[in-house]
Amino acid sequence: MTVKKLKIGIIGSGALGLYYGAMLQRSGQDVRFLLRRDLSAIHQNGLQVHSVHGDFHLPQVVGYSTPNEMGPVDLVIIGLKTFANQYLIDLVRPLLGAQTCILTLQNGLGNEELLAGEFGVDRVLGGVAFLCSNRGEPGHVHHLGEGKVRLGEFHGGLSERSRQLETIFNAAGIPCEAVDDLQRARWEKLVWNIPFNGLCALLQQNTTELLSHAESRQLVQEIMQEVIAGANAQPLKEKIDGPAFIERMIYLTDQMNGYQPSMMIDRGEGRPLELNAIYAIPLQRAEAAEINMPKTKMLHTLLDFSEHFQPNTGSLRDLSSLKISACK
């Protein structure tokens, strides 16, 4: 399939958005970034990617501080943290032309529904990113490993559009697979995200430390079993093979030397956590299918409590100003 050149707008230029956007621009795509913290540094010095596959520098990067400045594009890629989803519709709207499609690579569940409810089902695709990356100083992003994207239409089925995006991503050096069951792909990602993001954030221990302790390693696997049970109660085209999938997830995570999941980093830096998309909505959908996930529910409860509790004062803290500042 011929690689089509698109005008691409990146909403949420963090570790994910900067890395994928840089890879796409290096391959010849016309990429524009909505920037906040990195805006000045990137305008002055470009974008530096530090990658396990080889470092590279983009001396000229097009960045904007508002979506109105960016204007309509062919493809919107969303990497925004889901705790900022109250801003998502207003960020996306100025980027839409008559044929613009929207690809959300956000974590968890509910993101496609939010976009489709405002902009229509036919515009919306979703994807899951298996990416180990962190932000560095302004203008720098660090790719530590992985990077595969699985994407598909929100309404299901394989389409020419999803195949075209698969081709574009692969041509950019981003391993990509178009899938016909986006919901299954999203639940498969949750099998990893729910135990590792939550436990690492709560304990402030990385994945290697978590798996090196026999009891916490067993707990990870038990939570994975719950998530798979919740997933397989959904209307998926094909059930997830629990034992084989868990074995693969544990094996892959054992290779991530000292990896800190995004939620662990967010907690350490005082940012809010993506609890609704990664925990609350999956728990609601499992409960609606009459599946009980007690360990997942307890993890969500502890994370939610610690999100609001100020340990040094013994009192609840107000997160409203923190959430607003994180989304400017």
Catalytic residues: 189
Distance of alpha carbon 154 from alpha carbon 311, whole angstroms: 41
Distance of alpha carbon 40 from alpha carbon 217, whole angstroms: 43
Distance of alpha carbon 7 from alpha carbon 108, whole angstroms: 27
CA dihedral 103, 106, 112, 116 (to 10 degrees): -60
The β-bridge relationship of strands 73-78 and 62-64 is unpaired
> Are 193 and 106 spatial neighbours (Cβ–Cβ below 8 Å)?
no
> Are 208 and 259 spatial neighbours (Cβ–Cβ below 8 Å)?
yes
Distance of alpha carbon 114 from alpha carbon 104, whole angstroms: 11
> Are 49 and 22 spatial neighbours (Cβ–Cβ below 8 Å)?
yes
The β-bridge relationship of strands 315-316 and 309-310 is antiparallel
56 C-beta neighbours (distance < 10 Å), count: 13
Distance of alpha carbon 12 from alpha carbon 327, whole angstroms: 9
Q: What is the DSSP letter of 84?
A: G
Please compute, for residue 62, the number of CA atoms within 13 A of its CA located in the half-sphere on the CB side: 16
- What size, in residues, is the chain? 328
> Are 327 and 87 spatial neighbours (Cβ–Cβ below 8 Å)?
yes
Distance of alpha carbon 96 from alpha carbon 76, whole angstroms: 8
Distance of alpha carbon 129 from alpha carbon 78, whole angstroms: 11
Distance of alpha carbon 293 from alpha carbon 315, whole angstroms: 29
